[in-house]
Structure 1
Amino acid sequence: MILVDSSVWIDYFRSAETPQVALLDSLFGCVPLVVGDLIAVEVLQGIRSEREFRHVTRIFASFRHIDIVDYELAVKAAQHYRVLRTIGITVRKTIDVLIAARCIEDGLTLLHADRDFLPFTKHFGLQVAYSEP
């Protein structure tokens, strides 16, 4: 299963031509895609029109949904963050730490376009669907 990050969904809904969007297009119907609750919030809160909001929620409703965080995962995410800080890496957004921890914990592959996930790949084995060449 592949969890698609908001960085890719936002590009997708803006019709951006990125390698991650092209990969997402190719995955529809071929691989199980997952929408996380916090990812849905990040995408949906930025939508201005009611029509687009309904369109995106209909698309998201067609995928499996997962809750990103619970107490145990919050503790693991904090541990990951602390390890990265000790080696001089600061992740900019707490939500990204939580998303990475959920993927690592559940063995999900992450499709993203956000550099904050790179340290999780290198130091914690986060599996990603696309890596920059």
Structure 2
Amino acid sequence: MNRPSEASSTGTAEKMRSQISLESAGRVIWKRCAAIDRKEPVIVVDSSVWIAHLRGIENAARRRLQNIEDPLEILVGDLILMEVLQGARDDRHATTIEANLRQFTIRPMLDDSLAVRAARNYRLLRERGITMRKTIDVIIGTFCIQEGHSLLHDDRDFDPMAQHLGLKIA
């Protein structure tokens, strides 16, 4: 049984830890709010990397993801979120994945002007004899180019965008 002095010091220590946690959480929330609208380049992590991560598949892109020290450097596009959630086993699994991905900044990737740019990029690649297999990859790549972000991926479909359109690879 605790003596009164031990109990009060234990209570004080717990209260201090609680305050520190709340203060730390406040700083994290403040940083997260600031990150949402920041214009500095970040790393967009493609669904190919998240899926490898979820499945425990070892590859260079997954190792790069695991080595990113600041979670504020990671951006998850809404379309990438959709792609990852489509592969969930069931609703419970999808809810867990969504909660984990929501730790990062999530941004919409497509608006009307980006749609026009993505279509132009598709045509530019087609003129060079390259046909992109998935429209969503053209959108993701164009978003990264437009915003100045790097893309972390494990999908060969992005390679022509890097080679011909200036997509930065993380």
The TM-score bracket by the shorter chain reads over 0.9
- Cα distance in 1 for partners of 2:161, 2:111 equals 19
Q: Which residue of 2 aligns with 1:80?
A: 121
Deviations 1:22-77 (A, max 9, x none): 11011143661000000000000110133321221111111011111000000000
The answer for unaligned runs of 5 or more in structure 1 is none
- Cα distance in 2 for partners of 1:128, 1:20 equals 10
Q: Which residue of 1 aligns with 2:54?
A: 13
- Ranked by relative contact order (alpha carbons within 8 Å, sequence separation 6 or more), the top structure is 1
Q: Which residue of 2 aligns with 1:106?
A: 147
Shift of 1:109: 0.5
Q: Structure 2 matches for 1:1-133, cutoff 5 A?
A: 1-29=42-70, 32-129=73-170
Question: Contact 1:3/1:110 (CA < 8 Å) preserved in 2?
Answer: yes
Question: Contact 2:71/2:104 (CA < 8 Å) preserved in 1?
Answer: no
- Cα distance in 1 for partners of 2:147, 2:115 equals 14
Q: TM-score, normalised by structure 1?
A: 0.93
Higher helix share: 2
Deviations 1:6-33 (A, max 9, x none): 0110000001011111110111436610
Question: Contact 1:20/1:112 (CA < 8 Å) preserved in 2?
Answer: yes
Q: TM-score, normalised by structure 2?
A: 0.73
Question: Contact 2:43/2:74 (CA < 8 Å) preserved in 1?
Answer: yes
Deviations 1:94-127 (A, max 9, x none): 0000000000000010000111101111111110
Runs (4 or more) in structure 1 with deviation over 4 Å come to none
Residue identity (%):
46
CA-based RMSD of the aligned residues comes to: 1.1
- Cα distance in 2 for partners of 1:16, 1:51 equals 22
Distance 1:73 1:61, change over 3 A: same
Point out the structure with max Rg over C-alpha.
Answer: 2
